[in-house]
Amino acid sequence: MSQTQLRTQAHAAVDYEEQASKLSLEPSVDGQDVDAPGRAVEAKFITPLDPVIETADGNRLPSVPVQEAHKINLLKNHANGQPYEPVRPRGLTRFDRQDAGVGAVDKSELLMDDKESVSSRLNEAIPVMHTHPLFPPLPLYGPPSTLRNLHCAFFRTTSAFLSTAFLAVVVLGAVFTSIPYLFKYTWLWLTFRDPAKKRPFHKEEQRRAEIRREKEKEWTSRKRKHRSRMKSDIRESITPPGPEFEPLEGGPDKLVCDIRYYARRVGLDAERFKVQTEDGFILELWHLYNLTEYRPAPDTDRQSDAPVVFTASQKDLHQHVQRQYSDSNRRYPVLLVHGLLQSAGAYCTNDDDSLAFFLCKSGYDVWLGNNRCGFVPEHSLLQYHDPRMWAWNMRQMGVMDLPAHISRVLQETGFEKLGLVCHSQGTTQTFVALAKEQRPDLGDKISVFCALAPAVYAGPLIDKMYLKFMRVISPAGFRMFFGIHSFIPLMMAMHRMLPGKLYGAMGYRVFSFLFDWTDTRWDLGLRNRLFQFSPVYVSAESMRWWLGRECFAKQRCILATREDKETEDVEDEAREESCDRAESNNSDRGKTAWYDEHVPPMALWVAGSDELVDGRRLLKRFESGREPHVNVVHSKVIDEYEHLDVIWAMDSLEQVGKEVRQVLWNTMPEDARSICRKVSGIVDDVREKDQPPNDQHQ
């Protein structure tokens, strides 16, 4: 090796140590062990635009800007005398070179200064930063330092006051807009009229309320008898052997944030798994089960594994769930993912009419995924106060959280595919993850994607004054208002401190004010329960993605710019005017497709009165031929439904749940169908699995 090469490697080694210190958990000190825990070693590219930092102890640190990831890998390879092969992103034809994003690097550009010369500046070989029109780069905070700590303290202070003031304005707005309803309600009672009489399900609400009262009395009576027997030293369970779904909890609703509590009220139970994402976040994954046929896994088997997904080393790692059932009596796995500011408990609040409990009792193996942070923010290395804990948005939830959940469910159950059911933001992260520029191979693990109130295009609500305010302020102003950590953490403090009834009532009023939701189609007796599972911790960066001036609120779409949509509108109008022209342009229209051949079959339930998102626009995209690889096996528009009605309306099982159950069965792989039990309520003589089983628009 020449002296020039040795000097180049030596310079690269020094620069590598500096870059590693910049990306490590803690700043390096002289004499520090190179294998110290938390020390950055290299960047792992989850996708070509989503690098994470691997540490010496095998842990991961969250996403960093792509050029910083290329830099540490380039310097490491040069220090070892090896060439560097950059990861090329897929699908860059959708954007020109200037707008393609930070990761849109050209190999020749990256290595243009990679020369065996002592004067070579390796950092000049890193591509310049560009602004991606849909997913702008996240900030790089680096390890703790005096300057960074002052920086964080400043934003904590300003956001504590400004975000609290913003929340106070929203709460006051909710209170003032509720005054007319309060006067109307009081007047009806004073004139001996029932305020709830005009509700569409008034009689059904009364019937269900009476059933709940009878069950409470029955539970109290059984508990009293049990205590009497205990005094006589007759040791019996509160719940003696009885029906298959005998309740294990009862009495008046405690209004708690506990999935297991509500599962036990309907004769099921739940166990909690922990899942680690590829960037080190620890997620909660709940598994529902029938106590008469399943024993929960040991606690050691439910802990998080290494930050890897879909690897051969994971095969047969636990599979405790699979071992519980015989091969002819297994349950097909179904994963449910929640919406924005919600958690998995949103699927478990309506007793037996809850979608999660309904699917479980029908015969599916139901899993409920929570996105990162949730109610208890947890990371393998980072702590709550570290801003790197909160440097994530929709992209990371799609390409890292969702695959982590799917991987663990498949690992535990032993199946090659599962059914995926998502609501609102859950559909967003899935549509993002499946895009051919992101993680399209994930589609090979999904037998069908059921999207409830799909959040792809923005609805008119995005132009409300208080939401428009977030779009008007600059990114720096947004961070000053809402910080660089969790978004308005005062909401979580209120959740912990306020009694369940008061919090439920306030939660409904505030969210109704923000998003124009009503409880018209919900069970009024359960309304306070519905809000016990929200809000959750989310990052200020993720809310900036939704409502800031750069991303969704500006583009009004998750995977296309505003200009792209305007061009599509013009082409669609031309298509309607001339069918012949449309047929001749079908191949060209497919060039702007978001998805490739890996995309799973899709089923969509659109809320027709949804002001938050525009589901009809998504259906129009699929029907227009812009997504030639997308097979829509079911679509339905429910005109009277609002955004949350698809999971909370009193008739949601009739309108949505039973159809979801059927679609999951129709699209199940044949090899899985041969070893799974027959799901109850399934119609056998439906069309083949790749055909729409009940394609309709209402």
Q: Residue 622 phi/psi, 5° resolution?
A: -70, -40
Rounded to the nearest 10 degrees, how much is the dihedral formed by the CA atoms of 439, 444, 447, 453? 10
Number of domains in the chain: 2
Q: End-to-end distance of the chain based on CA atoms, in angstroms?
A: 75
The contacts found for 206-215 with CB under 8 angstroms, 24 or more apart, are 208/523, 208/525, 209/525, 212/351, 212/525, 215/247, 215/250
pLDDT of res. 381: 96
Tell me, yes or no, whether 132 and 276 share the same domain: no
DSSP alpha helix (H) spans, 112-201: 146-190
Tell me, yes or no, whether 413 and 552 share the same domain: yes
Q: Residue 538 phi/psi, 5° resolution?
A: -135, 160
Asked, for residue 185, whether it belongs to a domain, the answer is: no
Tokens of 584: 């001749």
Helix axes 402-413, 425-434, angle to 10 degrees: 90
Can you tell me the distance from the alpha carbon of 516 to that of 119, in angstroms, rounded to the nearest whole number?
Answer: 62
Is residue 344 within 8 A of residue 417, CB to CB? The reply is no
pLDDT of res. 696: 44
Residue owning tokens 């106060």: 385
Tell me, yes or no, whether 130 and 279 share the same domain: no
Tokens of 477: 């102003």
User: Which CA distances in Å does 253 have to 212, 214, 360?
Assistant: 10, 13, 22
Is residue 549 within 8 A of residue 473, CB to CB? The reply is yes
What is the Cα 126 distance to its own chain's centre? 32
pLDDT of res. 107: 44
Query: Quick check: helix, strand or coil at residue 44?
Result: strand
pLDDT of res. 688: 42
Tell me, yes or no, whether 274 and 419 share the same domain: yes
Can you tell me the distance from the alpha carbon of 59 to that of 111, in angstroms, rounded to the nearest whole number?
Answer: 29
Is residue 19 within 8 A of residue 246, CB to CB? The reply is no
Tokens of 397: 């939830």
Which strands form 60-61's sheet, in the order they lie side by side?
A: 40-47, 50-55, 60-61
Q: End of a domain among 137, 154, 171?
A: 137
DSSP 56: T
Q: End of a domain among 120, 137, 154?
A: 137
Asked, for residue 181, whether it belongs to a domain, the answer is: no
> Looking at the annotation, which residues are catalytic?
424, 610, 643
Helix and strand totals (H; E) in the chain: 26, 11
- 270-295 pLDDT per residue, tens: 999 999 999 999 999 999 999 989 99
Tokens of 448: 């069908």
pLDDT of res. 37: 82
Asked, for residue 572, whether it belongs to a domain, the answer is: no
**Which residues lie closer than 8 Å to 252 by C-beta, 6 or more apart?**
216
Q: Residue 51 phi/psi, 5° resolution?
A: -90, 145
Asked, for residue 67, whether it belongs to a domain, the answer is: yes
- 200-247 pLDDT per residue, tens: 999 999 999 999 999 999 998 887 776 666 545 444 444 444 567 889
Asked, for residue 612, whether it belongs to a domain, the answer is: yes
Can you tell me the distance from the alpha carbon of 40 to that of 63, in angstroms, rounded to the nearest whole number?
Answer: 13
Cα diameter, the chain: 98
**Range of the structural domain that residue 45 is part of:** 3-137
pLDDT of res. 34: 66
Residues paired with 286 in a beta bridge: 272, 368
Tokens of 375: 């109610």
Cis peptide before 535 (omega within 30 of 0): yes
Smallest CA-to-CA distance from 235 within 243, 246, 227 is with 227
Query: Quick check: helix, strand or coil at residue 613?
Result: strand
Q: End of a domain among 118, 137, 156?
A: 137
Asked, for residue 565, whether it belongs to a domain, the answer is: no
Asked, for residue 192, whether it belongs to a domain, the answer is: no
**3-class DSSP string for 262-300:** HHHHCCCEEEEEEEECCCCEEEEEEEEECCCCCCCCCHH
pLDDT of res. 586: 56
User: Which CA distances in Å does 488 have to 79, 483, 531, 538, 546?
Assistant: 44, 8, 17, 9, 15
pLDDT of res. 691: 46
DSSP alpha helix (H) spans, 613-657: 615-623, 645-648, 652
Asked, for residue 153, whether it belongs to a domain, the answer is: no
DSSP alpha helix (H) spans, 291-383: 320-323, 355-362
Query: Quick check: helix, strand or coil at residue 672?
Result: helix
Is residue 184 within 8 A of residue 504, CB to CB? The reply is no
pLDDT of res. 3: 66
CATH number of the domain to which 616 belongs? 3.40.50.1820
Regions of the chain where pLDDT drops below 50: 91-131, 231, 233-241, 582, 584, 686-698
Rg from Cα positions in the chain: 27
DSSP alpha helix (H) spans, 521-561: 527-530, 540-547, 552-555
The residue type of 658 is K
Tell which phi-psi region holds residue 412, choosing left (phi > 0), alpha (psi between -120 and 50) or beta.
alpha
The pTM (predicted TM-score) of the whole model is: 0.90
pLDDT of res. 103: 43
Query: Quick check: helix, strand or coil at residue 635?
Result: strand
Tokens of 194: 């029932």
Instruction: Say if residue 431 is exposed, middle or buried (CB neighbours under 10 Å; 0-12, 13-18, 19+).
Output: buried
